[in-house]
Structure 1
Amino acid sequence: MPDTYSSMSPTITAMIRLDHMHVLSAFHRYHADTAWWRKRAIVNSVCAALEIHAQLEEEIFYPALAEVVNDNPTLSKSRPEHDEMRATIAKLRATGPEDAAYDALFHKLMSEVMHHVADEETMLLPTAERTLKNELRSLGARMTRRRLQLLGERPRDIAVNTAGTFPIATFLLGALVVIGATHCLPKTRRMRYAD
């Protein structure tokens, strides 16, 4: 069973690239004139995603890559770059969207992430695809299992921030659920009475 799961899993490098795209697309939803509550939701969502992503890389990806490459300067500076991002995240959480420094801090975080992503996508991921090619799917499966554990530690925060990040989509989805439930409920009752 684990072998089947690993063979069906996306590669770890594909998952890392998807994480990068997710965070970079969230950056594009943030604007100086965005409502304060939406800014907070976007920032909280991005920060949580970055924290989980960094932890996954540090627990699974970096150790696997370090076993097959020696003295890679990009790999050596990856953890300190994560620490810089964590420090910026802590500053963001200590301020609020009403603070004038909030926008600047978020833009600083964007800059740190974009620099880090560029290094990973041009150096580390291609190196991993060459040197770990037989392990990429099993590492992806490990990353998926660990991600689910980490997400399970904060489901409420993730739901609230996702709703604030995508308010129109959340409203429409909620409306569809309510309409679907009210439309289906009478049919269910009718079927119960027919028995």
Structure 2
Amino acid sequence: MPTTTKRAAPDACSLLDADHRKVKKMFGDYDALVRSKTASAAQKKRELAAEICMELTVHVRVEEEIFYPALRGAIKETELLDEAEVEHGTVKELIAQLEAATEADDMFDAKVKVLGEYIDHHVKEERNDIFVKARAARGLDLVGMRGQLAARKQELMDELAGATV
């Protein structure tokens, strides 16, 4: 009889990490556009940057509204959550600068690059520290929270999509 490895049920951390992977790919696609130097690259960069900003805005909101507060109630050491929220503040500021930009010039590209580097740093801390603590916390229903996060994400995506139409 073959042995099987039991996989953990998808939880809040796996949903948030799927967001991380999606945005990382988007940043890679943006870098490819920067290197391509084609005539159509500027418009494609603006569109992709807008998508990145929307994804990150929604991700930050669900973490701040649902995930972090639940975690604060379940773990003792909350310094990492404080740091994550400060990082979110910088992410929000960079997003605001990108959304206010009038053209996708070299400074725009630099801001997208810095945002990507910032997100990489943030993701490493979440994966290596925050998600580990969340999964070890007693009484925290991460599987149930996944549904809450997914529902709130959809609401926010719908709101933002409606605002850009």
Indicate the TM-score class for this superposition, using the shorter chain for normalisation.
Answer: 0.7 to 0.9
Name the residue aligned to 1:82.
88
Q: Give the secondary-structure state (helix, strand or coil) at the position aligned to 2:131.
A: helix
Contact kept, 8 Å, 2:74 with 2:140, in 1: the verdict is no
> Is residue 19 from structure 1 mapped to residue 19 from structure 2 by the alignment?
yes
How do 1:114-125 and structure 2 match up within 5 A?
114-125=120-131
Structure 2 counterpart of 1:112 = 118
Asked whether the 8 Å contact 1:39–1:97 carries over to 2, the reply is no
Q: Which amino acid aligns with 1:45?
A: E
1:72 offset after TM fit, Å? 2.6
- Cα RMSD for the two superposed structures: 2.0
Q: Residue 145 of structure 2 aligns with which residue?
A: 139
Aligned with residue 41 of structure 1, among 47, 58, 66: 47
Contact 1:96/1:102, CA 8 A, preserved across alignment? no
1:71: Cα distance to partner? 3.2
Shift of 1:145: 1.2
Answer 1 or 2: which has greater helix percent. 1
Query: Does the 8 Å CA contact 2:27/2:116 hold for their aligned counterparts?
Result: yes
Distance apart, 1:155 and its partner CA: 2.8
In structure 2, what is the Cα distance between the partners aligned to 1:44 and 1:107?
Answer: 14
Whole-Å Cα distance in 2 between the matches of residues 14 and 104 of structure 1?
30
Instruction: Give the TM-score taking structure 2 as reference length.
Output: 0.84
What percentage of aligned pairs have identical amino acids? 28
Deviations, residues 32-52 of structure 1 (Å, cap 9, x unaligned): 126111101110000000000
Structure with higher Rg: it is 1
The runs of 5 or more residues in structure 1 that have no matched partner are: 1-8, 161-195
Q: For 2:87 and 2:126, how far apart are their aligned partners in 1?
A: 11
Aligned residue pairs: how many?
Answer: 151
- 4+ long deviations beyond 4 Å: none
SS in 2 for 1:120: helix
Structure 2 gaps of 5+ residues are 1-8
CA distance in 2, matches of 1:95, 1:140: 34
Instruction: Calculate the TM-score normalised by the size of structure 1.
Output: 0.72
Displacement of 1:11 = 0.8
Could you tell me which amino acid in structure 2 is paired with residue 40 of structure 1? R
CA shift for structure 1 position 132? 5.0
